[in-house]
Amino acid sequence: MQKNDREFGFLKSGLTALRLQIGNLDQKLDNFIEESRRESQELRQEMNRNRAQIVELLTSLVGKGPDAS
């Protein structure tokens, strides 16, 4: 019976360690997702600024001759 208790203790200890690792990985995944969302939002904002600049530049060129500066 003592052998079973010891084996059960090892199993319980292993499961506890596994739970801790899963919790750690879950937290890392949450952090990664949040960082990815933030970076994606920043990229969209930069793309919108670039589009606005392109539209502004093209608009300023409308009606000018090809050699006009």
In this predicted structure, what is the pLDDT of residue 67? 73
Assigned token pair, 13: 């200890």
Average pLDDT estimate for 44-50: 98
Confidence of residue 2 (pLDDT cuts 50, 70, 90): confident
Residue with tokens 């203790």: 9
Among residues of the chain, what percentage have pLDDT more than 90? 70
Specify the pLDDT at position 69.
Answer: 58
Percent of the chain with pLDDT over 70: 93
Give residue 64's pLDDT. 75
Mean pLDDT across 21-38: 97
Give the integer Cα–Cα distance in Å for 25 and 19: 10
